[in-house]
Every structure is written in C-alpha cells, then in structure tokens.
Amino acid sequence: MLSIGSYTLDSNLLLAPMAGVTDYPFRRLCRQYGAALATSEMLSADVSLWGSKKSRTRIPQQQEAAPRSVQIAGSEPQQMAEAAHASVQQGAHIVDINMGCPAKKVCNKAAGSALLRDEVLVRDILQAVVTAVNVPVTLKFRTGWSVSNRNAVTVAQIAEDVGIQAIAIHGRTRADAYRGYAEYETIRQVKMNVGIPVIANGDIQTPLDAAFILDYTHTDGLMLGRAAWGQPWIFWQLGEFFKTGELPAQPDVYTRSQVVLAHIRAIHDFYGEETGVRVARKHIGWYLDRMTSDPGYKQRIFSTTCSNNQLAAVNDALGIIALTQY
Ligand SMILES: Cc1cc2nc3c(=O)[nH]c(=O)nc-3n(C[C@H](O)[C@H](O)[C@H](O)COP(=O)(O)O)c2cc1C
C-alpha cells in the first residue's frame, strides 16, 4: 500500500494537480471514484496573494476528506517555507512542491520545472519547506529541463536526502512542454535509485497503459491528469482492472448523466452563479466530448449564462444522447 509519511492511502491511484481543473468539486468527485489523493491546484508561494478571489477557491476546504494535499509554487526558499506553513495553518495535511510546471514564470519569477536547472536552489527550497512544517512534504517534477539534461535521478536523491516523503514524476522534460509522449525509462531509473515512494505520471490514459507503466517502472503509484477530464470514474475502472484483470465498462449512460449533473451543481454552489457557469462549461465540454461528436450540444449549452438554464440544457442534451445510445 502507498504511504506518504503517516498517511496510508486507500489505493495507488492519484489525481494530478491541474490549475483551473482540480478544484474542490472535481477533487471530491475523483476521490469518490477511487483517487486516493487529489492535490490542489497550485498556489503561489506569495501568501499576500492568497486573499484574491481565485486563490481563496484554491486553499484547502475544511470539509475535504483527509489527507488534503496542497501544492505550492515559487522559487525563494524562505517564501516557500512561509507558504508551506500557511498551507498547514489553512488545513493542509500534505504540502506538495511544484517543480513540474513548464511555464517559464509563476508570478514573474522562475518556478516550476525551470528550477530543475539549479540543483543547489532545488535543495535549498526542499530543505526550507521540510524544515518549516511538521507534515509530510512531497515533490512533483519533470524528468529534467531538456532531453539532454535529464537530471531526475539527482533531483530525486536530493529530495530523499532532505526528507521529502514521496515524489511524483511527469515523464517529460521542461523543454518538451506537453509535446510528444511521456517516457518512463527515467522514472524507472529514479525508482531504482531512491527508497521513498515514487509515483509515475504522464499520458496514462487506459487501464492497459497503467498496467504497462507500473510493470515497467515498478513505481509505488500512478498519477492521472488529463485522462480524468470528462470521466472521473476512470479511477474506479483502473481499480477494478487491477483487482480483477478484466477491463470494466464505464458506468451506464444514466449513471454518467447523474454524475455530470451533480458535478455541475457542485461547481455552481462552490463558485456562485457567474463564475460557476463559466467553470462548468469546461467540464461540460469534456463530458460531451467523450459522449458525442455532435458540436451542436455544446453550442446550445454554452450560450446560456444562467446556472439553472445551463443545468436544464445539459439535462436535455444528456437525455437525447442517452436515447441515441440505446
Ligand atoms: C490544464 C493543466 C494544468 C496543470 N496544472 C498543474 C499544476 O498546477 N501543478 C502541477 O504540478 N502540474 C500541473 N499540470 C501538469 C499535470 O499535473 C500532469 O503532470 C500532466 O498533465 C501530465 O499528466 P497527464 O498526461 O496524466 O495529464 C497541469 C496540466 C494541465 C493539462
């Protein structure tokens, strides 16, 4: 079983942190379907920004089930330490450090995977955060900053050395951004060279991908990001596949419709009318992309700015799609 510090997780399947996606409603849904951990969207290490409307929705929600993992991004050790401390005060059970984001800058400073170039700074940041809090600290990073500079093994060893409790690695370099395919050889090398739990991430789309990557890398867990868009039940499907060896069908169209409607309602409740309708569009689009190739449904649903009308339009669309599938 995968453990992070004192937390033993219910499974080895994790939801990847994704800014603009893994808000509280989506994290809760994925966890209901078997994601054992769902890290928050990244928060800037500059805590003076946490009062903004956007950041307020990103700080941990007290009603969220344990363990709550909060991700912070920044480049100054002292600032990261303060952000980690503040995260714990706000209810984080685990602090996750972002060294995986390919954006050049977070709040006008080098951050995310750009930091991987400077291993001394990496050590200073990790050390500062681990020292600042008495909860487990985890690290999410990429295989390196370019194909000719894959330093993930060194970074993982630094992480283990300073007391990081688990690492998640996306099998791309910073220079790759999201192009091409993830590679798992570097992740396999990392697993062979550290004793802390290692979680593989990148392009895990199906149960067969998951089985192959686990078998190849021998990692302790798998982290899925984009594969959960529009199908949070993928965690349940993967879990069933690992238990039984059978490829399970997705939930029937009625169950999926109920999940979609409940998810949209949760988004409306969490963000309020205006932002809720806007945020929900993204998820509605992903659900529909997986159910139909007809763009007409989205056009009708996206034209409304009222939450009740949005729900009604989605309900109608799902009803028609269900009929066409029987
Ligand atoms: C829209 C989007 C937002 C992301 N935001 C974050 C983030 O806030 N923190 C982070 O560590 N990674 C972030 N990532 C990277 C994902 O966590 C993950 O590493 C990447 O998508 C590869 O996994 P996948 O192929 O399963 O999607 C983001 C990715 C996407 C597509």
pLDDT per residue over 240-278, tens digit each? 999 999 999 999 999 999 999 999 999 999 999 999 999
Confidence label for 52 from pLDDT (cuts 50, 70 and 90):
confident
Question: How far away, in angstroms, is 109 Cα from ligand 1 center?
Answer: 19
CATH class, range 3-244: alpha beta
- ipTM of the prediction: 0.99
Q: Is the CB of 58 under 6 A from ligand 1?
A: no
> Average of pLDDT values for 166-174?
96
Pair 112, 99: CB distance under 8 Å: yes
| Whole-angstrom distance, CA of residue 219 vs CA of residue 235 | 17
pLDDT band at 3 (very low <50, low <70, confident <90, very high): very high
- Rounded mean pLDDT of the chain? 94
Residue 101 annotated as catalytic:
yes
Strand partners, 98: 140
Give the Cα separation of 214 and 303 in Å (integer).
43
Instruction: Report how far ligand 1's centroid is from the alpha carbon of 309 (Å).
Output: 31
pLDDT at 326 over 90: no
Does 176 sit in the ligand 1 pocket, CB within 6 Å? no
- Give the distance (Å) from ligand 1 centre to CA of residue 49: 22
CA dihedral 266, 270, 272, 277 (to 10 degrees): -50
Average pLDDT over residues 17-30: 96
Could you state, in order of their start, the residue ranges of all structural domains in the chain?
A: 3-244, 253-325
Chain position carrying tokens 């799902």: 318
Q: Long-range contacts made by residues 241-246, C-beta under 8 angstroms, separation at least 24?
A: 241/207, 241/210, 241/211, 242/207, 242/210, 242/211
Nearest-atom index, ligand 1, CA of 203:
25
pLDDT band at 38; cut points 50, 70, 90: very high
